[in-house]
Every structure is written in C-alpha cells, then in structure tokens.
Amino acid sequence: MEKWVYRFGRGQAEGGVSDVAILGGKGANLAEMANLGLPVPPGLTIVADACSWYFQHEKTLPEALMAQVLDGIAAMEAETGRTFGGATSPLLLSIRSGARASMPGMMDTVLNLGLNDETVQALGHDAGDARFAWDSYRRFIQMYADVVMGLDHEVFEEILEDEKARHGHEYDTDLSAVEWQHVVSLYKQVIEEELGDTFPQDPHVQLWQAIAAVFSSWMNQRAMTYRMLHRIPEHWGTAVNVQAMVFGNLGSSSATGVAFTRNPSTGRKELYGEFLVNAQGEDVVAGIRTPQSLTEEGRLASGSEKPSMEKLMPETFREFSEICDRLEAHYRDMQDVEFTVERGRLWMLQTRSGKRTTRAAMKIAVDMVDERLITENEAVSRIEPPSLDQLLHPTIDPRVERVIMGSGLPASPGAASGEIVFTAEEAVEAEAEGRKVILVRIETSPEDIHGMHAAEAILTTRGGMTSHAAVVARGMGIPCVVGAGSMRVDLRNEQLICPGGITLKRGDIITLDGSSGHVLKGNVPMMQPELSGDFGRLMQWADKARRMTVRTNADTPQDARAARSFGAEGIGLCRTEHMFFEGERIHVMREMILAEDEAGRREALAKLLPMQRSDFTELFEIMHGLPVTIRLLDPPLHEFLPKSDEEIAEVAKAMGMDAAFLRRRVDALHEFNPMLGHRGCRLAISYPEIAEMQARAIFEAVVAAARETGEAVELEIMVPLVSLRAELDYVKACIDRVAIEVGGETGMTIGYLAGTMIELPRAALRAHVIAETAEFFSFGTNDLTQTTFGISRDDAASFIPVYQRKGIIEQDPFISLDFDGVGELIRLAAERGRKTRADLKLGICGEHGGDPASITFCEEAGLDYVSCSPFRVPIARLAAAQAAIAQGRQKN
C-alpha cells in the first residue's frame, strides 16, 4: 500500500533529514529533531506527492491517506493522553504546509484545529483558564475562516478592534473570558452573514478541509510568484504537517519565539532571536507586538527595557540554548528555529538552515572552517554566487552631513535612496517608469512581495528582526529598516509622520540605511563597498578549487581596472566598436563610412589608427601580461550614422556636408535585418582596409606596451560572425600580413593567436574545419542563442515573458544558457574543434559567461575560461569553483 503518512514523536520518527523530497523541509527536520530525542510535539507528515494527487483528482484526498492520518492521530492521542474532538482533554492540532524548498509565509497554516463549542469548554477546564480557551477558539475561527472559507481576516480585526474600544482595552490580552466568548459569537455570526454558511463544528470536517486548503495554497498567486522567482518546480508540491498543539499563550510562564543560532545579519556567533510572553507562534512573525530579545546582550544592544528570556526564564533558556548548539553541530550550519514554552516546558517546533545576508553567510562559512565544522570546499559551495551582488552594495558615506528623520531596527544592510510610496502597487508602477522608490508600510505581508521586489529599500513602522519585511528583504538583498516605532504611517493622507511632527509626503526622497536603521532625509551620498577579510579568504579558497579561468568583457580602461580589482585574469572580449562611439571619434568614423572610395576610407582610417593604438596600449598595460582578446569591428556600419531627419540635419551641419547626400548614404546602407546583415567578418572582407587598420593599431600597441612595461602581451585577435573557414582564412591572412609588416618596422617578433567567435550554428557544425585555421574559439552565446532559436535578441523581451508565464520555457535563454539546444552546439563544436587541434583554447564571452548555471555548463563542457562583465567577475569565480567542486575536478 502506498505510504502517504510518516509519523514522528517520542524520540523516534519514520523519516529523517534526507527525506526532504518526500516530507518537505519542515517535515523532514521535525522527524530529524524527534530522532535526536529533542522535545518535539508528536505529529505526522503527509507526503508532498499527495499534493499532486490532490490536484490530479479534482481536489480530493485518497482514501488510504485518510485512514493513515487517522492512525497517526490515534498515536498522537496515545502519546499526549488527549482525544481529538474529545469532550474532555481535547487534542488540538496545527496544520502547516512544508515544501521541499523553504517558501516563508507563502502558503497557509491553521492552528488550534479541533476546537468547537464543546471542546472549548473542556480546554478551558483542563488549562484552568477559560480566557485562554476562548482566545484560542477565536484565533482558530479567524484562521480557519480566512484559509479554508476564504473570508478576509480584516472583518475579524474590525470586530476585535470594536470590542476592545467598547470595553476600553488597549491590548488583546486585556480581554476577559466572557469578552472573548462574545467575540467568538460575533465571529460566527459574521461568517454566516458573509458566507451564508456556518462554522463547522465537527473536528474531522475541520481536519480534512484544512488539509485540502493547505494543499490548495500551493497554487495561490503569491506561492506561484515565489516559485517563479526562486525557480521552484510546480510538480514538487507541498507536504502537510499535522502536529499536536502546544501553547505559548497559557499565561506568563508560557512564551513563543524564533531564534537564529548565529546573527543572520552579521554572522556573529551568538544566539540571536526574539520571543513573546503569553503568545502564539504567528504573533512573532506577524509583527503585531514588538518582541523581546532572547539574550541579555541582545536586549542591551537593542536598548529595550523589556526583560530577555535569559533573565525571565533562565532554566528554559539554558535548555534552549543547549539545543541550539546541538542542532548547529548536527546540521553543521546556522539554524533558524521556532519554539514554544508551555508553562515552563520547552517544545521545538521547527529547525531549518537560516536565511542570512551575504556578509553573514561569508562570515559563518569562514568561521565554520576555522571551527573545523566544515571544509574549505564546503564553505565555497555554501555561498550563492548571485548573492555576492549584496557585497557590492553601496553604504552611506560617513563624512557627509545627515538629517535623521527617524530610526528602526537595521534589518538588512546596504543603503538606498528613493521616493516614498505607500503601496506595493505604486512601487511596481514606479519601477516600470524607471523611478526609484522606498516602500513604506506599517508592516508587510506576502501580498506585498511584488512591491518589495520593485523597491530599492523597505521601511516598516512595526515588527522585529524576524518580521516578514526583515526576512524577505534579507533574502532579496535589499536594504530594510523595520519597527521604526517613532514614525507613523498615515495612509489616508499619504504621509509619514516623523518624531516632532515633521511630515514626509508620498514622492518625497529619503535614504534608508539598513546597516544602522536610520531613515535619512533626501538623497545621501554613498560609498562603494570594499571587499576584504572573509570575502578575500573565501575567494582564495574558490580560486584554489577553480579549474576554468575567469576573464572579463572590457572595452575601456575603466572597465579593465574594475575587472582587475575583482580578480579578472584577462580580457575575453574587447568590443572595439565601443571605442568608436566616443567624443570626436564618431565624426572620423562617419567620415570613413561616408567616403566614396577606398582612398577616402584609408584617409579617415589613418586618423582613427592613433586613437585605437593608444586605447589598446592602455588596456595591455592594465592587464600586465594577462591574455587580452581583441575582436575586430562587428556591427553594421549604419549603426554609426544618424537616423532621424533631425539627427541627419545636425550631423550634416557639423560635418560641413549636404544633408541630402547624407540621407542618400544612410538610405543606401539601410538593411532590413541588420543582425543578419553586413556585419562581423563580412565587413572585413568587403573593406579589408578596416581590418588592416585595426590589426596595425593592435600590433603597434603590443610593441608600445611591451616597451613600456617590459612584459609581453598575451594577445588574441578574434574574428566575429564567421560561418565559413574561407572567411576566417581571408581575414587571418590580412592580420598575418600586418603582423609581419609591423614586426619588420619595429624589429620585434609579435606573438599572437588568431581565432574566431563561434556564434553561428554553421560555425559550430563545421568547427573541425574552422579549427584548421582558428587557434582559439570563443563562444558568442548571444548571437548563437539568437541564431539557434531564430529569435531576435533585441525583440525577445516582448514575448519571452509570455512564454515563461505559460510554462513553454522556464528560463530566458538569453540570460541562462539553453543547455539542450545551444548547449548541444557548444559541446559539439568543442569536441570537433579539439579533434582537429588538441590545444584549441575554448572560452565563452556571451552574457552567459556571468550566469552561474551557464558557468556550470561550461565546466562540464570542458571550456578553458569564461568571460563576463567586470561586476560579475567575483560571481563567476565562485560559480566556476562550485562547478569544479561538484565535478570533482579541483586543481589541487
């Protein structure tokens, strides 16, 4: 019989941490904690496959599953001595989702399940606290109505606020048993009014409906968006955890909290977290009350008056802290745990690998190597390459004057400026218009996720370091300040009221400093970050593990210098055309293009020569003997000419030329499909004098740089858009001729490799023939993707997102390499090319050279290097190391 249910409890479990694919993260870790003998309330996990079954069978549950769940509940009853639906000692359940990958807050949860008009009395009697029982019942109704019946929770908030006002209470905890009982009757009434349906009293009906609702939440909008953003496959489904409830809201010896075994913001080795006395789990994350620190150190750092758990519950704190140490040592990673204290007794409700900032991830990985918990290669594999972007974030320049408008908790580091907006929708609209915004909310919820993505930074006036806003912003790597309690959001008048009554309006510019928690007025100058310390050590380990080298795509000395500082080991692509666009050069370039014969062209080219030569010399000097690949002119010539009538008139005037003549030349050069037109090596074949000038500028620069620095340049000259060997032969002959000429003139023998880009399918297919001439290949995956798919790279954006939404493709192939199609051509070309020339150098210089998944592919295909834009060099170094480690191909 199919196994739908895995049980855990009393020091043992049917599954464990290796069963994440079956039990989801939460279920697998609950089982693991039970196996470790930690205090986990007994429960069961319904496997993730049941979620797929549910959707394939018109949202029903298999019979066998229901029977297995009931068996599991019987075991829970035996262990707790309580009865599900019992008129005495009722067992209450929590029903929680838990997918293979963590999706915080994206799916639904129901707590206190099993309460009805009868069991609430029994619960009150057992606990000796009727107030607690009625409070739990109203929480259950509220959650159940929201999650299962689809009634918005705001209706209930309103009722509660009215009741509090009527009795003059400030806090929820001020309500008496009788008052809560009245709230319950109002809740049930509003359900009937709004839905025409009664609240179900049968605990079994509640159970099956809640399980179904949790499965259904796998397909809610926010979960689908989250999956898309985090590339989580839909077919994974979510598991469901059904667990005996324990109560953190049973008075002042009860509490609930969350903790990280190290500081998730800085990575410091300290127990870090928050708790609320007399509260239930969701209260902490919801940010409704501002929680207290776990440790005294934390309390002092936050300047809070409220006692820490360490002080308030010393024994329980000690036990908890020991469990945290054990969990961290067991998992060999920083853990994020949830716990509840029920009348002094500690219960562990969850553990998982904790989300952290990149800076923290770096420190934790490096510290754990020093603590001998993990190896250097493990440390390298633990940092997500794209997250390095976070380290490249700017911070506030400490030397400038700042006007602090308010402050909160520093939830996610980095600083950003932008206009104030108060809703997620506005943030999304503003981003689409290219405006930078700061999203300001009382608190955020998963519905705000779009807006949070669109914003530069996030500010909330409520909540703690583990509130939704804080957790999500850290994950996204955007600056965030939370719990800025001295500021007030006035939504009606679209303003943020600061201490002292000063108001900031929608559209006003502020700067958030997510590292200090400050909210600053206006646009504050920032400083670029420095990479050092832990980053340096980790990158050293990465470089040790890496097989491929990492080069950069750089056309200017500025790019080249930046790339060197990020550790680039050469230039993989210098697009020489970019040198022609600057300043005066464009005029000379135009003179060349507009010349009516070869003599005229040569005259203009002679003026361009010294400019190119000095550019190349500088690049060679910056690269100090590292390899530099220079590509001959690639784009069609009309790209350099004006287009509109106005531009034509302007350029004609500047060049002292007849506008009508210029118009005629522009028209004559017009192409219907320039991407597939007169460009690349085709230009060098039509106008060899252009290639000759470029070759001469390159060789003369090699001589000049070598004389200046005393270092030989490792030069590679690259011919673009080749599909026939004869094309390459023709251009290479021209390059070789110039090399001999310059060699003769300067008395120096110039060493270089001549090679080609592989960016057309024909070139890939004929690689073995092309390699007879080419001494290296560089895969131009931008054009290769364009020509393999037949999708114009400039027009793809209008329909690729539609393809992604409709599930026709998962990834944009211009961002992440299409392994099956384009990848097949690369593999084949690499293999065929090397068959002809065993030492053929292979690299990639399309945008994919900076994409971690594509870099993994390059490692597997046996390329020698990847080349990417300067800011992605560290990402590429790390991704290349991880790929080598995964392949077991480390250098040492």
List contacts with ligand PEP (CB under 6 A). Answer: 573, 575, 634, 759, 780-783, 845-846
Separation between Cα atoms, residue 708 and residue 226, nearest integer Å = 55
Interacting partner of 148 out of Mg ion, ligand PEP, none (Cβ under 5 to 8 A depending on kind): none
Q: Helix, strand or coil for residue 335?
A: strand
The least distance separating ligand PEP from the CB of residue 793, rounded to whole angstroms, comes to 8
Closer by beta carbon to Mg ion, 330 or else 793: 793
Catalytic residues: 468, 845
Phi and psi at 545, nearest 5°, equal -85, -20
Closer by beta carbon to ligand PEP, 368 or else 757: 757
SS3 sequence of 320-377: HHHHHHHHHHHHCCCEEEEEEEECCEEEEEEEEECCCCHHHHHHHHHHHHHCCCCCHH
Q: Helix, strand or coil for residue 557?
A: helix
Closer by beta carbon to ligand PEP, 123 or else 873: 873
**Which amino acid is it at 128?**
G
Interacting partner of 816 out of ligand PEP, Mg ion, none (Cβ under 5 to 8 A depending on kind): none
Separation between Cα atoms, residue 766 and residue 569, nearest integer Å = 30
Separation between Cα atoms, residue 38 and residue 41, nearest integer Å = 10
The dihedral formed by the CA atoms of 281, 284, 290 and 295, expressed in degrees to the nearest 10: 90
Interacting partner of 846 out of ligand PEP, Mg ion, none (Cβ under 5 to 8 A depending on kind): ligand PEP
Q: Helix, strand or coil for residue 97?
A: strand
Residue 635 binding Mg ion, by CB under 5 A: no
Separation between Cα atoms, residue 260 and residue 270, nearest integer Å = 8
The least distance separating Mg ion from the CB of residue 763, rounded to whole angstroms, comes to 11
Residue 555 binding Mg ion, by CB under 5 A: no
Beta carbons of 844 and 778 less than 8 angstroms apart = yes
The least distance separating Mg ion from the CB of residue 337, rounded to whole angstroms, comes to 50
Strands in 261-371 per DSSP E: 272-277, 292-293, 335-342, 345-353
Give the binding range for Mg ion (CB under 5 A) out of 75-83, 151-159, 303-311, 776-784. Answer: 776-784
Tokens of 67: 């029977």
Interacting partner of 376 out of Mg ion, ligand PEP, none (Cβ under 5 to 8 A depending on kind): none
Separation between Cα atoms, residue 139 and residue 187, nearest integer Å = 10
Place of tokens 């329909």: 799
Closer by beta carbon to ligand PEP, 561 or else 575: 575
Displacement of CA 437 from its chain's centroid (Å): 19
Place of tokens 């303003």: 495
Closer by beta carbon to ligand PEP, 310 or else 555: 555
Closer by beta carbon to ligand PEP, 488 or else 578: 578
Report 742-771 residues binding Mg ion (CB under 5 A).
759
Strands in 514-598 per DSSP E: 518-521, 526-527, 549-553, 571-575
Q: Residue 272: beta bridge partners? A: 260
Residue 780 binding Mg ion, by CB under 5 A: yes
Size, binding site for Mg ion by CB under 5 A: 3
3-state helix, strand and coil shares in percent for the chain, rounded to the nearest 5: 50, 15, 35
The least distance separating ligand PEP from the CB of residue 859, rounded to whole angstroms, comes to 19
The least distance separating ligand PEP from the CB of residue 25, rounded to whole angstroms, comes to 38
Orientation of helix 822-836 relative to helix 852-861, angle to 10°: 30
Interacting partner of 346 out of Mg ion, ligand PEP, none (Cβ under 5 to 8 A depending on kind): none
Closer by beta carbon to ligand PEP, 9 or else 635: 635
Closer by beta carbon to ligand PEP, 845 or else 884: 845
The least distance separating Mg ion from the CB of residue 534, rounded to whole angstroms, comes to 38
Beta carbons of 42 and 76 less than 8 angstroms apart = yes
Beta carbons of 505 and 420 less than 8 angstroms apart = yes
Phi and psi at 721, nearest 5°, equal 55, 45
Residue in the shown chain whose Cβ atom is closest to Mg ion: 783
The least distance separating ligand PEP from the CB of residue 574, rounded to whole angstroms, comes to 11
Q: Which one of 108, 328, 534, 783 is in contact with Mg ion (CB under 5 A)? A: 783
Interacting partner of 330 out of Mg ion, ligand PEP, none (Cβ under 5 to 8 A depending on kind): none
Separation between Cα atoms, residue 882 and residue 87, nearest integer Å = 58
Interacting partner of 526 out of Mg ion, ligand PEP, none (Cβ under 5 to 8 A depending on kind): none
Residue 847 binding Mg ion, by CB under 5 A: no
The least distance separating ligand PEP from the CB of residue 842, rounded to whole angstroms, comes to 14
Tokens of 463: 């909540």
Q: Which residues bind Mg ion (CB under 5 A)?
A: 759, 780, 783
